[in-house]
Every structure is written in structure tokens, then in C-alpha cells.
Structure 1
Amino acid sequence: MQDVLYSGRKNEMFNLRLSERMKEDIRRIAEMDGISINSAIVQRLAKSLLEERVNDQ
């Protein structure tokens, strides 16, 4: 994901439970993009929420 939808500013801490497989998939994607697992998760959430807002219009 090259479009940065997450600024990296520390805002709110949130614990998240993931299956080992999902965590490994996200880790691999984050590594390929050169970003942290946290950033990869936040970027995907931001993209999903943005797409949902656009589709609701």
C-alpha cells in the first residue's frame, strides 16, 4: 500500500486479538511495504472506512 493514510502520530492505544495466520499475513505485507505492523493495520482500516463513506454517498 503506497498511499499513506496514516500519519504515524500516536493517538489512542488499542489492543487487538488476531489469529496467528492473520498476524503473519499482516506482518508479511507490512514488511514488503517497509512499514510497521501497526501502520499496516491502521492504513487498511483507514482505507476501508474511506471506501465505506464514499459508497454510502
Structure 2
Amino acid sequence: MDSLYTERKRENFMLRMPAKMNEEIRRMAEMDGISINSAIVQRLAKSLREDRADGQ
């Protein structure tokens, strides 16, 4: 994971998402042996890295 997103400081917030998306993330997290939170953070970090690479 990108070192920009591994610091110990954390911010909490509620996230609303469609039930189908929640189920898909839950399944992926379970298959990877990680928490749903970790799965979401990994996906967000990947998206942000890709945006940086694209110059956005």
C-alpha cells in the first residue's frame, strides 16, 4: 500500500453505499482475508495512485 496512506492517524466517518456494492466489497474482503475497511482503503489508495500517475 502507498506510504501516504499508512500513517497511524485516522479519521472516522459514516459511508453510505448501495447494498449490492457493500455485498461485493464484503465478499472481496473475505476472500483476501482482510476487513471491509481495509478493502475500501486499498481500493481508494489504488484509485488515488492511478489519478496521480495520470497527472490529475
Runs of 4+ in 1 over 4 A off after TM superposition: none
Number of residues paired by the alignment?
54
Q: Which residue does 2:42 correspond to in 1?
A: 43
Distance 1:8 1:38, change over 3 A: farther
Listed as ranges, the gaps of 5+ residues in structure 2 are none
Which one scores higher on RCO, CA 8 angstroms, separation ≥ 6?
1
Correspondences of 1:7-22 after superposition (within 5 Å): 7=6, 9=8, 11-22=10-21
With normalisation by structure 1, the TM-score equals: 0.81
The alignment's C-alpha RMSD in Å is 1.9
With normalisation by structure 2, the TM-score equals: 0.82
Listed as ranges, the gaps of 5+ residues in structure 1 are none
Identity percentage of aligned residues: 65
Aligned mates of 1:37, 1:10 — CA distance in 2: 18
